Structure 1
């Protein structure tokens, strides 16, 4: 696997609105999966699938605290990447003609 493969894997993982929101939320602070389950109106199985994709892309990490599973952002560069994406989205909207 080379750097381009990793980049594509990360972008694919962030390419779903729910996964993007999960990562943005976890950038604020690590959370228990039970909190994520309350915030996102998806079944536990669906949320688990999204978390699995983010973990497999290397974006998130998890650790068990007591009986709870806690998730946090593993790749600190993700915050800069998302900021660049927000700037790019703003640039996109500024080019639209109404």
Structure 2
């Protein structure tokens, strides 16, 4: 069982201008968006376009390590801010 959970919508809102401050190329943004979609996309019963990490029963993402939620394309400073923001919404699973 996973150690932590975060509501997928809370994770999506972690990517604000106060967190992501550095400059990225279009290709880097595209890769980051694909990564984020895996953790936030809630497919309907007629939509199988994306592989999703969201538990469709409760809307949470379950993880063992916060690093699972950090796109590798981010700069070190943005990663640090993102980790801090994620921790605000992270819940320990009993």
Q: TM-score, normalised by structure 1?
A: 0.28
Who wins on radius of gyration, i.e. which is larger?
Answer: 1
Q: Which has the higher contact order (CA 8 A, sep 6+)?
A: 2
Q: TM-score, normalised by structure 2?
A: 0.28
